[in-house]
Structure 1
Amino acid sequence: MTSSLVLVSWLVLVLQVVADDEHCIKLHPPRVVVKDGDPVSVNCTTSIDHIWMYWEYNNCAAKLHASREAVTHGVNCAISIITLRCREDTHGNNCITLQVKITDYNANFSCHVILKGKLECKKDLSVTVYKPPDNVSVSSVNSTDPMVEGSQYQLKCEIQNIAPVQNLTVKWYKGDTLVHEDRDYVIEDGKSDREKAPMSVSSILLITPNRADDGAEYSCWAELDLGPEGPQPPLAVKSEPLRITVHSPPRRTFWTSIGVVIAVLLLVSICVYKQWNQKRKEADRLPNSSDPLISMAQRANNGTQALRK
């Protein structure tokens, strides 16, 4: 009876341990952010009595027997992984280290501990592989000529081969001033925004320049914010600035406008005066038939001339 109770208690304890991997296995660090091709070292530690423990990568295992081997290489794995004893492990069988150069953006690593009775603990390692962009550039869309004041134009930022795009923010600057942040960029080549592998993206900025923008410089930044485990400050790659030229019609000042009004009024006055003067001269050359005295004199003169005939 006593032995049965002990066995049941042991099974319950083991099942609790297996169900709670947090107490069975500890990873240090628990999350890894690594640049493509850089080495990674992670310790897997357990305080549970076990038979053996090993690291696994995408179902490819580098198995290390706790009581037998010191170093094991992954066999037939897509990347070379090494499992070895932790230097700080004084007992020689409670900690193993994963050493690997990660080039696989979809890599999945997990540490396994095999307990007595063929029970197993497993803990996944959170891995983020990043890659800075090959190039970041800014250009004016469909326009190489100087811009016209008041018209709308598109500036395009092209970012080539960056990963992961899920952590990318495109920042637009005018000089040293941030004017726009874009996380709704366009992914080239029809790829999915869920892919972790490097891809190229583009961002569009709409501008309506005025005369004050002549000579202004626009640039864009590709910023990867990978959290506290990533580079600090966040990795940012800047484009070469694009200088714009803005043509604008001459702007009239107040006094220029007054001068134009005076000139127009003067020109109108001259035209009116010329017309009036012309009519006055024509009127001076012709008798004024509307004057009754002149009309009577004309009739009398006409009558006299008739009698003489």
Structure 2
Amino acid sequence: EILYWYRYRNALSQFCAQAECPLQLNPQRVVVRYGDSVAANCSTSVLHEGMGWEASEGAVPMTKNQSLITWRVSELKEWDIKPVCFINYKIGDKNQCPVELPVTVYKTPDSVFISVNHSGPMKEREPYELQYRADDGAQYRCEAELDLGAEGPQPHPTISSKPLNVEVYYKPQHSSSTETIIKDDKVMLDCTVKANPAPTYTWDHLKEKNSSSELKSSALSPGNYTCTATNALGRDSKVFIVKSTGIRPTFWTVLTFFQLSVALITIM
């Protein structure tokens, strides 16, 4: 009996290696969420003595006179299930040809967490480690995505953590170190700069101290004025070069002045 089984197995292996098993699976691969229902068809176009499904769940006993049988599970909760469709496809011959249906069972995480190994505000350009279980005011989140191939659900199943709010401290930095200003009632010396914490401002070459980030150019004499923005992480200065309007007197202005001068001399 043992020798017969050995010869039978070898003959079956050689035959299946020489020709494809006359079974078609639809779909050819299954991707199913843990706990969901699943179904796959197995069909043939040849005469046979019986076909069926072998599986730990949803097995279908060998059936005759049918060319299509369905493996079906209403609530799949087995991770490593390996359903196999088989056929005894030669009348008078007990050779059996099996085809396994690849099954991928997946489950997204119940929850995703994100944290950072630091408390309080962060400093610009300092490294921080995000732990899974950040620009100023930005929100970070961890997202887990399952890519299960073309047969899997589209779009890919994902689950996200709650947002992690991050505050970053950074020093002041002006976009330019100098700026030339022509005196005018509408023109301001604007030293305002972004920084966190908010910076304080000081001005050099002023007669009185001033902590404002802006000055009216019309109230200043021509010259150089240096503004320095400072916070806990550093400071940055900007030089404003204030120049007079430089308007030259016109011909009519000179003529009017000359006429007034002649009139005064005549009166005297």
TM-score of Structure 1 vs Structure 2, range by shorter chain: 0.5 to 0.7
Q: Secondary structure at the match of 1:237?
A: strand
Q: TM-score, normalised by structure 2?
A: 0.55
Contact 1:21 1:121 in 2 (8 A): no
The residue number in structure 2 matching 1:30 is 28
Aligned to 2:215: none
- Identity between Structure 1 and Structure 2 (%): 37
Corresponding residue for residue 48 of structure 1: 46
Q: Which residue of 2 is the match for residue 103 of structure 1?
A: 77
Q: Please state whether the residue corresponding to 1:117 is helix, strand or coil.
A: coil
**Structure 2 unaligned regions, length at least 5:** 1-11, 179-190, 192-200, 208-268
Once the two structures are TM-superposed, the CA of residue 53 in structure 1 deviates from its matched residue by 1.3
The CA RMSD over aligned residues, in Å, is: 3.2
The 5-angstrom pairing of residues 202-221 of structure 1 reads 213-221=135-143
* Aligned partner of 1:244 among 163, 166, 171: 166
Distance 1:20 1:127, change over 3 A: farther
Task: Indicate the residue corresponding to 1:144 in structure 2.
Answer: 119
1:78 corresponds in structure 2 to: none
Residues 12-31 of structure 1 correspond to what in structure 2 (within 5 A)? 18-19=16-17, 22-31=20-29
Question: How far is the alpha carbon of 1:19 from its aligned partner?
Answer: 3.5
Once residues 18 and 25 of structure 2 are traced to their aligned partners in structure 1, the CA distance between those partners, rounded to angstroms, is 14
| Within-5 A mapping of 1:136-285 | 136-141=112-117, 143-158=118-133, 213-251=135-173, 254=177, 259=203
Aligned residue number for residue 214 of structure 2: none
CA, structure 1 residues 243+44, in 2 after alignment: closer, same or farther (shift >3 Å)?
same
Question: Is the CA contact (8 Å cut-off) linking 1:54 and 1:113 kept in structure 2?
Answer: yes
- Displacement of 1:244 in angstroms is 0.5
Q: For residues 61-76 of structure 1, what are the structure 2 equivalents within 5 Å?
A: 62-66=60-64
1:252-278 Cα deviation digits (max 9, x unpaired): 784789956999xxxxxxxxxxxxxxx
- The gaps in structure 1 that reach 5 residues or longer are 1-13, 67-91, 159-206, 208-212, 264-309
Question: When you count helix as a share of all residues, which structure comes out higher?
Answer: 1
Separation of aligned partners in 1, 2:41 and 2:81: 17
Q: 1:121 aligns with which of 90, 93, 97?
A: 97
Larger Rg: 1
Secondary structure, counterpart of 2:120 in structure 1: coil
Q: Could you say what secondary structure the match of 2:93 adopts? A: helix
Q: Distance in 2 between matches of 1:104 and 1:16?
A: 32
> What is the Cα deviation at residue 120 of structure 1?
0.7
Look up the match of 1:185.
none
Listed one character per residue, the Cα deviations across residues 165-189 of structure 1 (whole Å, up to 9, x for unaligned) are xxxxxxxxxxxxxxxxxxxxxxxxx
Q: In the superposition, relative to structure 1, how do residues 38 and 258 fare at CA in structure 2: closer, same or farther (>3 Å)?
A: closer
Q: How many residues align?
A: 171
Cα drift, residue 149 of structure 1: 2.1
Distance in 2, matches of 1:17 and 1:93, equals 23
